[in-house]
Structure 1
């Protein structure tokens, strides 16, 4: 009888111990290091996270840029793919026209619709002759002469190094902010000047690439993706191009 009475209490004790062990293990899991399985930058001070993000961007061979950028009072919407020797994509100027850019090494090409080529600086109404001339350029690639002021203005949108240097610039004291995600990728945010000087969301997976930027002073938000995804650039065929002459910017067509 005595032996039979002990068995239930032993079983109950075993169940209690097992439950306590599970609870303890669960408690340990709840305090697990959040950086396990990441690239480790989340443990670093904010300034070092930023430096690693810039270094990763500087070593990359290609990137996709998508978002809005405000420069000198003008806002542009960018949809560009860039690499070290050129880029291709679309630029939309707020209150203006949309145009496409293609740069293959030093050769820069611009393609746009009739409205773009017919417009005048200051909003002056185009004449019939302006419209007629613009129709000949519609959806054709126009090679931008290197000496034309438009070359420098437009080529920056196709220059991976220069564009990223400008986009990644922030102002003020750096602080590590919230963890979150951009798409399916876990990130940590670095803020500058309490957020007023810009923010950058840095990948916690793989290389610490910058994935989303909010520029200082509300000067635009940009997504950076497809890091190191290679693509091919080709100059347009001869029948797709038009020779505009020595200058394309005398009529104000770059605004």
Structure 2
């Protein structure tokens, strides 16, 4: 019922190109002091030298080598949080999910002015959306207006419970499949030499290096230039502190622009099962019953 294709697009963005970088330590010079005893008065302190720049942890690495380190580090994460937006067919999907290696997740998605909470635990997926979310999701799937109204009456204020094997279960589970998301990193790096290093920066106060990949859209097809309004550029920000995790991915141009931030690596993800009296089983929904 939800827009599963858009959920898959969000998962793809979360597993975009790859890069990362290790820790660095700032070196500070001690400010000198001087006292001129002969005149019995203190001489003003000399200004402190500017801090020495932190050593570049990637100074001797090529962009491809940086990407390899980043993929290895990020794939080792046992959990993470991903927040951001992806645009598909001109429609924005916002997500904020925490995911762990047991394919459990909890978070929010927003589309078309509507909001839905999603949880996955014990192989079951639970969704609780507001009316705006269900309307835009079902309308996008071509559900008739009358059926939309009837469905909203059944799920209003309740969690929709989706069991393994039911329609939509596999699509929704992709968003909570940490191993699957991270496995895609290797495939998205592109051919050797396609990555270039961009300027360093910061993500949420953490120093980062960046790698940039540009797709000109030139496939040799004469129609490709007309179909692509703007070349796709992916910029990946990489932590230079601690493990070389990917911290942010920005994609401009192309068919699915967006931005995704990764954080809270290896932190516990607490997912609770909604109360039974607040859920409605998808199979009951399909039968048109009320419980």
TM-score band w.r.t. shorter chain: 0.7 to 0.9
Q: Please point out which of 195, 199, 220 is paired with 1:178.
A: 199
Distance 1:116 1:186, change over 3 A: closer
Displacement after TM superposition at 1:165 (Å): 4.5
Higher helix proportion (structure 1 or 2): 1
Q: Please point out which of 158, 180, 188 is paired with 1:162.
A: 180
Partner of 2:270, secondary structure, is coil
Distance 1:115 1:186, change over 3 A: closer
2:71–2:185 contact (8 Å) kept in structure 1: no
Map 1:49-88 onto structure 2 (within 5 A).
49-70=66-87, 75-85=92-102, 86-88=104-106
Q: Please point out which of 165, 169, 175 is paired with 1:147.
A: 165
Deviations 1:59-79 (A, max 9, x none): 111111110124577542111
Q: Please point out which of 234, 237, 247 is paired with 1:211.
A: 247
Distance 1:97 1:53, change over 3 A: same
> Is the counterpart of residue 137 in structure 1 residue 155 in structure 2?
yes
Deviations 1:56-115 (A, max 9, x none): 11111111111012457754211111111211111123x363222111142111111234
> Is the counterpart of residue 238 in structure 1 residue 281 in structure 2?
no
Between Structure 1 and Structure 2, how many residues are aligned? 220
Displacement after TM superposition at 1:120 (Å): 3.7
Q: 2:90 & 2:165 partners in 1: Cα distance?
A: 25
Residue segments in structure 2 that go unaligned for 5+ positions in a row: 1-45, 216-230
Distance 1:247 1:72, change over 3 A: farther
Displacement after TM superposition at 1:221 (Å): 0.6
Q: Flag the structure with larger Rg.
A: 1
Deviates more, 1:40-49 or 1:179-188: 40-49
Q: Please point out which of 184, 193, 214 is paired with 1:193.
A: 214
1:99–1:113 contact (8 Å) kept in structure 2: yes
Q: 2:183 & 2:92 partners in 1: Cα distance?
A: 18
Q: 1:96 & 1:125 partners in 2: Cα distance?
A: 20
1:114–1:135 contact (8 Å) kept in structure 2: no
Q: 1:156 & 1:46 partners in 2: Cα distance?
A: 29
CA RMSD between the two structures: 3.3
Deviates more, 1:116-125 or 1:197-206: 116-125
1:117–1:137 contact (8 Å) kept in structure 2: no
